[in-house]
C-alpha cells in the first residue's frame, strides 16, 4: 500500500455495515472517537441494490463487516454464502457507481487455521478455508471485493484493505478494542493515500492480538498501518 502524506479532513461520513457483529459497537465507537460521522446498517438487506444505493451516497469510505455479521446471525447453511458474496458484490458495485473509493473489509483469520499451528503464516500464504459457511462466507466475500480492485474491464477501481481478524474468543484472543483500532488505522491510511497512486489496490492484513503469544503475526499490519506499534488513535485524523 503506497501512501503520500496528506491531511485527512474531519467530519467524513463512513458507512459501517454489519453492526450486529461483536465488533460492530467497538468499531463504531472507535470511528466516532476518531472524528468520523458513522452511518451504520444493522439488518439492511445488502443483497438489494435499491436498499444499498442510498446507503453509499455521500460517504467517504465504507467499513464492511457484514459477512462476519451474517456468519454470526444466520443459520449455518449455504444461504450464508449467497448473502455474504452477493451482498458484497451489490455493495461494492454501488460504491463504485457512487464514486466511493475506499473500503475496509472485515474477514477472518480462521481461513488460515488449516495450517499447522507452529508455522509462521502470513498474508503471503494461500487461504485454506474449510467448507463451512463460517469460513467460506467471509472468504468468498474477499474474492468478490478483490475483483473490484483489479478488473481490467473497469474504468476505475476500489481501494480495499481487507483485515482478517483472529478469533475474538478464548484466552489469547484478539480484543474487540484492538480490532477496532486496526479498522480505524486502516481507514486512516486509505484516506491519506492518493486514489490514483501506484501499487496494489487490494491489500490483506492479518490482525491478531498485539502480544507475543498470538498465533498469527501482525507484522504486516504494523508496517502498513501502524497496528500494534501504537494503539493511540488521537493522531489518526489530522486536525
Which residues in this chain contact other proteins in the complex, by CB under 8 A? 47, 49, 77-79, 81-82, 85-86, 89-90, 92-93, 114, 128-131, 136, 139-140, 143-144, 147-148, 150-154
In terms of CB distance, is 5 or 153 closer to other proteins?
Answer: 153
| Phi, psi angles (nearest 5°) of residue 102 | -120, 140
As measured in angstroms, the least distance from the Cβ of 89 to other proteins is: 7
Nearer to other proteins, 73 or 114 (CB): 114
**Please, what is the minimum distance in Å from the beta carbon of residue 166 to other proteins?**
20
Q: Could you tell me the smallest distance in angstroms from the CB atom of residue 175 to other proteins?
A: 29
Q: What is the nearest approach in angstroms of other proteins to the Cβ of residue 46?
A: 13
* Nearest distance, CB of residue 83 and other proteins, angstroms: 9
Write down the least CB distance from residue 97 to other proteins, Å: 12
State which residue, 96 or 163, has the beta carbon closest to other proteins: 96
Largest CA distance in the chain: 47
Report helix, strand or coil for 68: helix
Instruction: Please say whether the beta carbons of 112 and 129 come within 8 A.
Output: no
Give the nearer residue to other proteins in terms of CB position, either 84 or 182. Answer: 84
Query: Considering beta carbons, is residue 81 or 163 the nearer one to other proteins?
Result: 81
DSSP string, 90-157: HHHHHHHHHT--EEEEEEEGGGGTTS-TTS---TTSPP---SSHHHHHHHHHHHHHHHTTT-TT-SS-
Which CB sits closer to other proteins, 150 or 200? 150
Amino acid at each position: 500500500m503506497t501512501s503520500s502524506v496528506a491531511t485527512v479532513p474531519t467530519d467524513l461520513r463512513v458507512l459501517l455495515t454489519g453492526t450486529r457483529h461483536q465488533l460492530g459497537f467497538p468499531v463504531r465507537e472507535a470511528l466516532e472517537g476518531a472524528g468520523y460521522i458513522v452511518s451504520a446498517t444493522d439488518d439492511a438487506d445488502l443483497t438489494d441494490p435499491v436498499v444499498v444505493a442510498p446507503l453509499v451516497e455521500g460517504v467517504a469510505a465504507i467499513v464492511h463487516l457484514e459477512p462476519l455479521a451474517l456468519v454470526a446471525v444466520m443459520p449455518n447453511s449455504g444461504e450464508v454464502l449467497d448473502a455474504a458474496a452477493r451482498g458484497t458484490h451489490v455493495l461494492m458495485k454501488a460504491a463504485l457507481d457512487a464514486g466511493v473509493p475506499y473500503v475496509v473489509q472485515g474477514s477472518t483469520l480462521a481461513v488460515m487455521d488449516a495450517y499447522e499451528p507452529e508455522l509462521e503464516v502470513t498474508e503471503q500464504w494461500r487461504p485454506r478455508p474449510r467448507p463451512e459457511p463460517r469460513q467460506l462466507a467471509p472468504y468468498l466475500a474477499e474474492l468478490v471485493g478483490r475483483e473490484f480492485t483489479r478488473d481490467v474491464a473497469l474504468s476505475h477501481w476500489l481501494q480495499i484493505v481487507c483485515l482478517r481478524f483472529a478469533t475474538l474468543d478464548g484466552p489469547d484472543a484478539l480484543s474487540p478494542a484492538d480490532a477496532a483500532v486496526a479498522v480505524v488505522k486502516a481507514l486512516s491510511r486509505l484516506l491519506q493515500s492518493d486514489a490514483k497512486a501506484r501499487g496494489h489496490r487490494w491489500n490483506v492484513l492479518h490482525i491478531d492480538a498485539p502480544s507475543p503469544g498470538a498465533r498469527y503475526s501482525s507484522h504486516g499490519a504494523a508496517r502498513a498501518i501502524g497496528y500494534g506499534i501504537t494503539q493511540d488513535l488521537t493522531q489518526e485524523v489530522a486536525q
